[in-house]
Amino acid sequence: MEGVYVTIGLEVHCQLLTQAKMFCRCSTDYIGKTPNTLVCPVCMGLPGALPVLNRKALELAIKTALALRCEILPEVVFHRKNYFYPDLPKGYQISQYDFPIGVRGVLEFALEGERRKVRIRRVHVEEDAGKLVHEGLGVERNVSGVDFNRAGIPLVEIVTEPDLHSPEEAKECLIMLRSIVRYLGVSDGNMEEGSLRCDANVSVSLSPDTQGAKVEIKNMNSFRSVFRALSYEVERQAALLREGKFPVQETRHWDEVRQVTVPSRGKEEAEDYRYFPDPDLLPFRIPQDMLEEIKATIPELPLQKKERFMREYELAEPEAHILVQDKDLAEFFEACVREFPAPRTVCNFVLTEVLKNLNAFNMTIRESKVTPGMLAELLRMVERKEIGISLAKGIFEEMFATGMSAREVMAKKGISFLTSERDLEKIVRQVIEENPQSVADYLGGKDKALHFLIGQVMKVTKGQANPEVVKNLLLRELTSGE
Amino acid sequence: MNLRDFRNFTIRDYQDLFAKGELVPRELLTIFLERIREVDSLLHAFLFVNEDRAFARAQKLEEEGRDRSVCPPLWGIPIAIKDNICTLGIPTTCASRILEGYIPPYNATVIERLEAAGAIILGKTNMDEFAMGSSTENSAYGPTRNPFDLERVPGGSSGGSAAALASLEAPLALGSDTGGSVRQPAAFCGIVGLRPTYGRVSRYGLVSFASSLDQIGPMARTVEDTITLFEIISGRDERDSTCAPYPPFSRAEIPQEEEVRKMIIGLPREYFSEGVDSRIVGTIEEVLKGLEKEGLTIREVSLPHTSYALEAYYIVAPSEASSNLARYDGVLYGLREGGEGTLQDMYFRTRTSGFGAEVKRRILLGTYSLSSGYYDAYYLKGMKVRTLVRQDFERAFQECHLLITPVSPVFPFFLGERTKNPYEMYLADVFTIPSAMAGIPALSLNCGYVDNLPVGLQIIAGPFQEGVLFGLALFLEQMLSLPLPLPEIGQQRRS
């Protein structure tokens, strides 16, 4: 929008992929489980129960902070964040305050092929709360339940500086963040299931020199809703400003049904969380070798991988961009290229046929039965002109559905494909012998006769020969016969 | 066998009778249960008597038989447990209305260890609500009375455990000490109580009051039994991050008598100031003379920050308490005052009716100290004072092995005497708070009687120096040879 200056900062929470919760040994595998079955005295906050830190949660949080190029603080200190809510069993959340895991990091991402940067203010680790259940309790109305299966699952909180200047930028930044946590294996980053949650601060101004009121947006449950909520909010605040009114500093919720943001019902007074160091947990000094060990486990990250793909495989930016978003897909591509060193061909096939089939079955590449070797074999057959590309696409669909190799699919389907040009040569010679008139016509200058001869070969091969190859063979035979 | 026969018994004596087949656990249990029936309506040391389960357990122990070669040290011994220590299937209320009827689904680590050692949970003892108090008058279920004089308090907050031991309703007990809650009632009731080094006993299952100060402590009628109990409950626990990674206490850490005679005992002059009852000072001075006669060296030392410790404690402890007690919100367990209105209304009603006045006072104090804008001036400063207090002790222990002080500046006071003025009540802990703030061990031992009221002597040691501390305590106990308490309950009322 012209003359509208937008400032956006993100606050992202990711559930960490640990086996056990952050301060007890309960399982974190809570999706679809009966409420309150993955609980113990510790995560239920029963009187007398005490937290014991799960080192794994700390490691994953440190890994995240390192990947975001944060400075790692030498000592991990947990603070209690005190507030009352029924999903918070202890009346406080164990979180971090003035000594987060990491500070002053950088996240790089791309918007329309252009490199962008957002500064990371802090990365810290904390425990998740339970979940209020308002429906399906089978009791009278006005009764809510609390499910504590989620309570105590470790979260990493990533706070950016307000360096983003459009909803598009915010969305791409968030997509990159998800991509990174997935590359790292620290979180599955699923917004719909709530393993990745994003709040945003938005302020809009009509002048580059002034800063608008900070409005916090919550309840955005997909990348699309982040984009739409922010776009709506920018419009709303800009419209107010144009009318000479000022947006108020507040928290607003994204209403997915009505596609609007609405003021939160909660009180607007600043809450005092009375942070203080949790006396149940001693400060943890991060040993240098622990840092080194974690550093060694950080893989090549999406942006680096993209740039390498563009350099090494001469891919265009948009193609490389899509390939690297999913680490598994990028690895599938590379493995395939190793066996069939034609990166452009592989890339085209992966971005069209492979993605099409994955989307159709709502699967990830990891779940697919087609291995890079199997795809390489298929592409090799196309290259050798043994099959045409359209047939290859059909065969791939079958491979994808059944897990069979290309040859197995063809055998099963009774596609007697032509193994060599020699077989085809025989048929070509036979067709030439059987159609002397057409041969004469062609030699007499009628180009159309050649098309008839190609058609005859195709008929004999039941359409399985490559027309281009057939044409070349015919031309060779006809000219050599002269 | 009869209760009077047990007056001077230690756990070892009971074990001898078991070994000889002259006593069985059910018989012993019955004697204590009868004693409780006889006197507890006057004392009110117990909030819950675990009669049926205890009896079943005693029977089971008998059926399993006593293996002489590997007999666990507390086999068949009943023990009273302060009601802020979680006991599986047995009510644990912290003497609060807000936990009325609450039955924990798990055992505290110390309870697991006691049961593994063969002990029988006799019942849960009365206390000041959430261990906040020095007289057991803050119990939501009515006060406990001092067995030596029913008009007087037994001290607190572990008053129930102390009274039960003094009246021989139980041979062993557990208390908890945050600022003196084991030692002060032990002194008021003439028994032995240890506050261990912070981190020496697991807090897992101890309902938190002030996490950085709370310690479960053994209480018994003799030093010998205190040691036995401490050996069982101490040692590392992976469920408590603040528990030190050391093995359980061992008797081998206690020095021999000749080493004790060579000890230098420090007397912190701040603990013998004007505010202390002269009869208490007099009694302790007699003891010190005795020690000198036995060859020990007595030396005056100084703990200059003593007077600030109390003030700092009443910042730090309530701050932690305000957070620890936030979980009693009526949602998941305990009292809920439901009814009309919002969630906030439910919280408000539940906490208003569930907590007593002293608990509310401390929640307010703590909430204030932690509030933004006040944190630096109160909580942070309190923690800094705490460091100074600890350094005082570190310096003192460069000059002496152990410190001797009074436990309490006053004799057991009358019920109601100090309830009007909370600050008066806080002063009762002035000599027990500094060592608690420093996290170091201290033991209360009876060192004499004045007008049939016991006088408590406190021995303070450096961190993890319980062995040295017990060495002197055993020496003193033997030197003094005082009769173990068995007051005639209710007889002294008219005197």
| DSSP notation for B300-366 | EE--TTHHHHHHHHHHHHHHHHHHHGGG-SSSSSS----SSS-HHHHHHHHHHHHS-HHHHHHHHHH
Comparing C-alpha atoms, which of A320, A295, A278, A322 is closest to residue A99? Answer: A278
Please name the residue ranges forming H helices in B173-299: 183-189, 223-233, 257-261, 278-293
Lowest-confidence pick of A66-70, A268-272, B272-276, B448-452: A268-272
pLDDT at A139 > cutoff 80: no
Active site residue B302: no
What is residue B273's predicted lDDT score, i.e. its pLDDT?
A: 85
pLDDT at A101 > cutoff 50: yes
Tell if the CB–CB gap between A272 and B332 is shorter than 8 Å: no
Distance CA B466, CA B64 (A): 35
Highest mean pLDDT (candidates A288-302, A416-430, A463-477):
A288-302
**Amino acid occupying residue A288:** Q
Tell if the CB–CB gap between B326 and A279 is shorter than 8 Å: no
Tell if the CB–CB gap between A47 and B99 is shorter than 8 Å: yes
Distance CA B135, CA B156 (A): 4
Distance CA B375, CA A91 (A): 19
Residue B422 CA, distance from chain mean position: 21
Q: Which sign does the torsion angle of CA B139, B141, B142, B144 carry? A: negative
Instruction: Specify whether the CB–CB gap between B216 and B242 falls below 8 A.
Output: no
Please give the full DSSP string across A326-362, using - where no structure is assigned: SHHHHHHHHHHHHHS--HHHHHHHIIIIIHHHHHHHT
Of the pLDDT bands very low, low, confident and very high (cuts 50, 70, 90), residue A95 is very high
Distance CA A474, CA B423 (A): 111
User: Residue A50: its chain B contacts at CB < 8 A?
Assistant: 203-204, 239-242
Tell if the CB–CB gap between B239 and A52 is shorter than 8 Å: yes
Active site residue B250: no
Annotated catalytic residue: which of B134, B157, B161, B202? B157
User: Residue B320: its chain A contacts at CB < 8 A?
Assistant: 276, 279
What is residue B2's predicted lDDT score, i.e. its pLDDT?
A: 85
Q: Which residues of A67-99 are buried (b: 16+ CB within 10 A; e: fewer)?
A: bbebebbeebbbbbbbeebbbbbbbbbbbbeeb
Residue A437 makes CB contacts below 8 A (sequence gap 6+) with none
Residue B272 makes CB contacts below 8 A (sequence gap 6+) with B281, B405, B406
- If you average pLDDT over every residue of chain A, what do you get? 91
Q: What is the DSSP letter of B377?
A: I
Percent of chain A with pLDDT over 90: 72
How confident is the model over A326-351, as a mean pLDDT?
95
- For residue range A219-245, what is the model confidence (pLDDT) as tens digits? 999 999 999 999 999 999 999 999 999
Q: What is the DSSP letter of B144?
A: -
Residue A325 makes CB contacts below 8 A (sequence gap 6+) with A175, A179, A302
Report the residue count for chain A: 482
- Provide the pairing of β-strand A196-205 with A154-160: unpaired
What is residue A315's predicted lDDT score, i.e. its pLDDT?
A: 95
CB contact, 8 Å: B174 with chain A?
no
Of the pLDDT bands very low, low, confident and very high (cuts 50, 70, 90), residue A412 is confident
What is residue B154's predicted lDDT score, i.e. its pLDDT?
A: 98
Q: Which of A84, A272, A280 sits opposite B241 (nearest CB)?
A: A280
Instruction: Specify whether the CB–CB gap between B456 and B186 falls below 8 A.
Output: yes
Structure tokens at B208: 């938190």
Q: How many CB pairs under 8 A join A and B?
A: 105
ipTM of the complex: 0.96
Domains of chain B (ranges, CATH numbers): 3-258 (3.90.1300.10)
Instruction: Specify whether the CB–CB gap between B137 and B256 falls below 8 A.
Output: no
Active site residue B157: yes
Instruction: Specify whether the CB–CB gap between B32 and B169 falls below 8 A.
Output: yes
Residue B64 CA, distance from chain mean position: 33
Lowest-confidence pick of A192-206, A431-445, B268-282, B429-443: A431-445
Sequence ranges of the domains in chain A: 5-278, 299-413, 421-480
CB contact, 8 Å: B22 with chain A?
no
Specify the DSSP element, H or E, that contains B81.
strand B78-82
Comparing C-alpha atoms, which of B176, B129, B180, B186 is closest to residue B154? Answer: B186
- For residue range A353-406, what is the model confidence (pLDDT) as tens digits? 999 999 998 899 999 999 999 999 999 988 887 787 878 898 999 999 999 998
Instruction: Specify whether the CB–CB gap between B210 and B320 falls below 8 A.
Output: yes
Structure tokens at A242: 């144009």
Tell if the CB–CB gap between B327 and A90 is shorter than 8 Å: yes
Cis peptide before B157 (omega within 30 of 0): yes
What is residue B494's predicted lDDT score, i.e. its pLDDT?
A: 43
Distance CA A353, CA A398 (A): 12
Instruction: Specify whether the CB–CB gap between A262 and A251 falls below 8 A.
Output: no
Give strand pairing partners of A200: A10, A217
User: Residue B110: which region, alpha, beta or left (left: phi > 0; alpha: psi -120 to 50)?
Assistant: alpha
Q: Which of B92, B204, B370 sits opposite A50 (nearest CB)?
A: B204
Distance CA B189, CA B419 (A): 20
Residue B261 CA, distance from chain mean position: 28
Tell if the CB–CB gap between B106 and A279 is shorter than 8 Å: no
CB contact, 8 Å: B331 with chain A?
yes
Q: Which of A91, A272, A279 sits opposite B326 (nearest CB)?
A: A91
Radius of gyration of chain A (CA): 30
Q: Which of B108, B239, B320 sits opposite A279 (nearest CB)?
A: B320
What is residue B69's predicted lDDT score, i.e. its pLDDT?
A: 74
Q: What is the CATH number of domain A421-480?
A: 1.10.10.410
Tell if the CB–CB gap between B241 and A282 is shorter than 8 Å: yes
User: Residue A80: its chain B contacts at CB < 8 A?
Assistant: 323
Q: Which residues of B354-371 are buried (b: 16+ CB within 10 A; e: fewer)?
A: bbbebbbebbebbbbbbe
Annotated catalytic residue: which of B181, B408, B435, B444? B181
HSE-up (13 A, CA, CB side) for residue A412:
11
Provide the chain B residues 359-418 that lie in CB contact (below 8 A) with chain A: 367, 370-372, 375, 379
What is residue B371's predicted lDDT score, i.e. its pLDDT?
A: 95
What is residue B495's predicted lDDT score, i.e. its pLDDT?
A: 41
pLDDT tens, N- to C-terminus, chain B (495 residues): 788 899 999 999 999 999 999 999 999 999 999 999 999 999 999 999 999 999 999 999 999 988 777 789 999 999 999 999 999 999 999 999 999 999 999 999 999 999 999 999 999 999 999 999 999 999 999 999 999 999 999 999 999 999 999 999 999 999 999 999 999 999 999 999 999 999 999 999 999 999 999 999 999 999 999 999 999 999 999 999 999 999 999 999 999 999 999 999 999 999 998 789 999 999 999 999 999 999 999 999 999 999 999 999 999 999 999 999 999 999 999 999 988 899 999 999 999 999 999 999 999 999 999 999 999 999 999 999 999 999 999 999 999 999 999 999 999 999 999 988 888 888 889 999 999 999 999 999 999 999 999 999 999 999 999 999 999 999 999 999 999 999 888 765 444
Structure tokens at A268: 């607007």
